Structure 1
Amino acid sequence: MKDLFVTRSVDDLIDETENGDEKLRRSIGPVALTALGVGAIIGTGIFVVIGEGAKLAGPSLFLAFILAALTCAFSALSYAELASSVPVSGSAYTFSYATLGEFVAFIIGWDLILEYGVSVAAVAVGWGGNVNEFLKATFGYELPKAISTSPSEGGVINIPAVVIVLAISILLTLGTRESARANAVMVVIKILILIFFIIVAFTAFNAGHFDPFAPVGFGGIASAAGVIFFAYIGFDAVTTASEESKNPGRDLPIAVIGSLVISTILYVLVAIAAVGVAPVKTLSGSDAPLAAALNEGAGIPWAGGLLAAGALIAITSVVLVIMYGQTRIFFAMCRDGLLPRKLAKVHPRYGTPARLTLGFGVLIAILAALVPLDEIVKLVNIGTLFAFVLVNIGVIVLRRTKPDMKRPFRVPLSPVLPIIGILLCGYLIVQLPWETWVRFVVWLIIGLIIYFSYSIRHSRVRTGAKVDPSLDEKAATTPDEKA
């Protein structure tokens, strides 16, 4: 049983990113990395979940956003330390491999593949829905139901969902730098739209909407924070870009913490502005609460079209970042031999894992086209919470096992803050609905079958393999090297 918890050397992991045959190209700076985090965090959450939160917290909604941010902050600090110390593709999977062992790493990596994949498919379905909202608000036209919804919803195929997934897959295949630039543009646009909402809302601000401030007391605020927490998930996607960061020791902590801070400030301002411009019942009774707030409170009906456009851009950015994260986690598992290594081959021209990126794109597009995933969005992301727990534990373990390891960023007051992060995530985990646990267990059983029938025999840690014999040519030649 001891062999199940064999760890990978941090030095070997880092050396592999510099000299290995399956290395990725370092092409992303701190601004683009921060944009990746903001792109993953600010998406459907702020355009939809604010209404759900208003039902529970009432006018004190903005306090729920702050409470949820503080819950994430402890884990964000741990992510920043490990990402700067172990700047290798794979995020929580790789961190767990270096600290808690192969078996734990496989479990969390396997679950994150599912969580990221389902998230991309679900968000893509939401993108399709917002296409219709935008067309209706702007042009008074809607796509036929047959080509914009799944079979179980009365349609035939959700073509908009397929289009966005395949388009993002191709963009990610063409290059990380190009994808990061496109994401940065989308992030700027959606931030500008949120700033527009804040400014316009404050011109029609009514302080009377905040009375009574907390109708259900702290219990309501805490319940709302539990819902809103998942509007913050995404900052961890920054660490999946560890291996493609130009200066990971400096840039990754800036991006992880910076994206969380930027998103929190925007969320709090939007929450205050939304309650100030419209009564809570308006926010909680609408599928598009921000548009409804401006329409009713500020008398700007055309704002619905603008905010629908903002939602489209925001969701596109989320699809890009989450899908990017999924492919990098799978890439790391393949490179370690836990999944077929041939899938980890890096394209010689684009410097990306093109084969697995396009493969995932096709699978997710099929899922998004045929399955109604709106209910899945409401389920708590159990894989992400488990990842948060393991990353916090990883900080504590590495501090004890490798006290002299270079740490460009250190979590202050360790192990106190990581332990608080573990307890907060543990509390949310035990609150999860039973459907989430069933899905997690079924997927886990499939993963265990793969691990004990394939992974344990092909793991590079066990076989000592340095180069896959099936890879005849160097898999990561960059254009400069070819020249």
Structure 2
Amino acid sequence: MSTEAETDTANPTLRRAIGRKVLLLFVVGDILGAGIYALTGKVAGEVGGAIWIPFLCAFVLATLTAAAYAELVGRYPQAAGAALYAQRAFKRPFVTFLVAFAVLMSGITSAGAAARAFGGDYLAEFINVPTLVAAWFFLLVITAVNVIGISESVKVNVVLTIIEASGLIVILAIGVVALVQGDGDPSRAMEITTEGTPWIAILGATGLAFYALLGFEDSVNLAEETRHPRRDFPRALFGGLIIAGLIYLGVAFTSTMLVDTETLAGSTGPLLEVVKVAGLTFPPKLFALIALLAVTNTALINMIMASRLVYGMGNEGIVPRVFSRVHAGRQTPYVAIAFTVLIAMTLVATGDLAGLADTTVLLLLLVFATVNVSVLVLRRTADADDEAAEQVEGDDAKPFRAPTWAPVLGAIVSLVLASPLTGREGSVYLRAGILLAIGVVLYLVNRWAISRGERS
């Protein structure tokens, strides 16, 4: 997992320390986590027993957008992700900043949602602590791991990925045993119960389910710390999505088969309800511990990605250069890490689990639409870009190219899911709007500071 770092104490760079297998585990670990452990019940509340349908729809959308990311990371294997792609495609600093800020805030709101989930029914199996206090302490611990170093952070991620995956395997095993023994009610998996139009209910539930599949896009921000990004990223992205998608469909079916919709919808620890009614005996406290570690993994990865994004923005000159400072000893972007955790601790105090999760989805859907359009725009200068793209020593693989219909359909579906057609609450749009408005203010302040510096 580690390579010899080039030491330059005057201008330290990020260390290319991540190999193919670890990258795959990182993608899987980034996807698995708080979403499936905490929001399965909320999806059931939207659509009824057929909760596998929204998860399947969300998987299709994620795959379409992953194809766009796989193509772009092959051309530009650098940190900054969607912001970098928007800059290359549109060459409008303001658009680039808004995309970068939306991604940044989506990562932090996702970590905030995970922090909130940490203080729910799973933690209540052990101790009753005020949610906000637990969330703040939780974020501080995550930050400490992030500061130590990328190799150490990824190693922690690998361990937590294995643990959180084991919890979902337990749920799958419970489902298999239930089917063999004839327990539960499999027919519930085909029930769509809603007061409104079924397809609108499915659309709204897909928006919630999509939160559980978020994370694949975060991994592209590690391109600058990956040994062979062109060769390894497409395999890791699609492989991770397939693994996570299959697990989610099995977990969704098992949950609705064994637990009635009303109970699932009313719980912040829906998978714990599955364990409690299972014919296969498994200690509820042990499963609650696994769920807490899964939530921890979600927050850790999102805070890693948010800090790397701020670092990349600093390198690109989108935000002040101070954010691109790297600790000479740990080789981690310490200024960016401090900035992101302060924002996270503030956001955690402003919204609940569902609100922060839905805000995350809304912001990223807008980003995904931009990324899909960026692929089409950049293909106009594909030859020049391929020649000018940064080459990574030892990685001479041909960049991945997505079929044209994938980014077109990905952009359309992203905009539909971001629209009010999903039945999303107005408060979510308000929160997202305020966050973007803050970004606009920061952008104008930064431009003013730059112009003032040039005049002086």
TM class by smaller structure: 0.7 to 0.9
Equivalent position SS for 1:99: helix
Matched, 1:238 2:219: yes
**Structure 1 residue 228 displacement after superposition:** 0.9
Q: TM-score normalised to the size of structure 1?
A: 0.80
Quote the Cα distance in structure 1 between the aligned partners of 2:295 and 2:313: 27
Equivalent position SS for 1:403: helix
Amino acid corresponding to residue 274 of structure 1 in structure 2: S
**Structure 1 residue 22 displacement after superposition:** 5.7
Equivalent position SS for 1:305: helix
Matched, 1:211 2:187: yes
Match of residue 69, structure 1, among 59, 63, 82? 59
Q: Does structure 1 retain, via aligned residues, the 8 Å contact 2:203–2:417?
A: no
Matched, 1:443 2:443: no
Q: Does structure 2 retain, via aligned residues, the 8 Å contact 1:48–1:287?
A: yes
Q: Does structure 1 retain, via aligned residues, the 8 Å contact 2:22–2:158?
A: yes
**Structure 1 residue 445 displacement after superposition:** 2.9
Matched, 1:192 2:166: yes
Amino acid corresponding to residue 162 of structure 1 in structure 2: W
Q: Does structure 1 retain, via aligned residues, the 8 Å contact 2:167–2:287?
A: yes
Matched, 1:291 2:272: yes
Quote the Cα distance in structure 2 between the aligned partners of 1:107 and 1:361: 20
Q: Name the residue aligned to 1:55.
A: 45
Q: Name the residue aligned to 1:420.
A: 409
TM-aligned CA distance change 1:177 to 1:208, over 3 Å: closer
Q: Does structure 1 retain, via aligned residues, the 8 Å contact 2:120–2:269?
A: no
Quote the Cα distance in structure 1 between the aligned partners of 2:27 and 2:448: 33
Number of residue-to-residue matches in the alignment: 423
Quote the Cα distance in structure 2 between the aligned partners of 1:237 and 1:37: 8
**Structure 1 residue 305 displacement after superposition:** 1.3
**Structure 1 residue 98 displacement after superposition:** 1.4
C-alpha RMSD of the superposition: 2.7
TM-aligned CA distance change 1:299 to 1:228, over 3 Å: same
Q: Name the residue aligned to 1:471.
A: none
Q: Name the residue aligned to 1:352.
A: 332
Amino acid corresponding to residue 262 of structure 1 in structure 2: I
Structure 1 window deviating more from structure 2 (305-314 vs 290-299): it is 290-299
- Report 1:15-414 matches (<5 A): 21=11, 23-101=13-91, 102-129=93-120, 132-135=123-126, 142-143=127-128, 145=129, 148-150=130-132, 158=133, 160-205=134-179, 206=182, 209-211=185-187, 213-216=190-193, 220-298=201-279, 300=281, 303-365=283-345, 367-368=347-348, 370-371=349-350, 373-380=352-359, 381-403=361-383, 405-406=385-386, 408-414=398-404
Unaligned runs of 5+ in 1: 1-17, 136-141, 151-157, 464-483
Quote the Cα distance in structure 2 between the aligned partners of 1:121 and 1:224: 21
Q: Deviations over 1:377-427 (max 9, x none)?
A: 35343221111011111110111122354383434321x211100000010
Q: Does structure 2 retain, via aligned residues, the 8 Å contact 1:89–1:243?
A: yes
Amino acid corresponding to residue 116 of structure 1 in structure 2: G
Q: Deviations over 1:112-131 (max 9, x none)?
A: 22222222223213223356
Identity %: 26
Equivalent position SS for 2:264: helix
Structure 1 window deviating more from structure 2 (206-215 vs 68-77): it is 206-215
**Structure 1 residue 170 displacement after superposition:** 1.8
Quote the Cα distance in structure 2 between the aligned partners of 1:285 and 1:112: 30
Q: Name the residue aligned to 1:475.
A: none
Equivalent position SS for 1:379: helix
Q: Does structure 1 retain, via aligned residues, the 8 Å contact 2:123–2:292?
A: no
**Structure 1 residue 438 displacement after superposition:** 2.3
Quote the Cα distance in structure 1 between the aligned partners of 2:419 and 2:227: 39
Quote the Cα distance in structure 1 between the aligned partners of 2:70 and 2:15: 21
**Structure 1 residue 430 displacement after superposition:** 1.1
**Structure 1 residue 311 displacement after superposition:** 1.2
Q: Does structure 1 retain, via aligned residues, the 8 Å contact 2:147–2:334?
A: yes
Q: Does structure 2 retain, via aligned residues, the 8 Å contact 1:277–1:298?
A: no
Unaligned runs of 5+ in 2: 1-7, 387-396
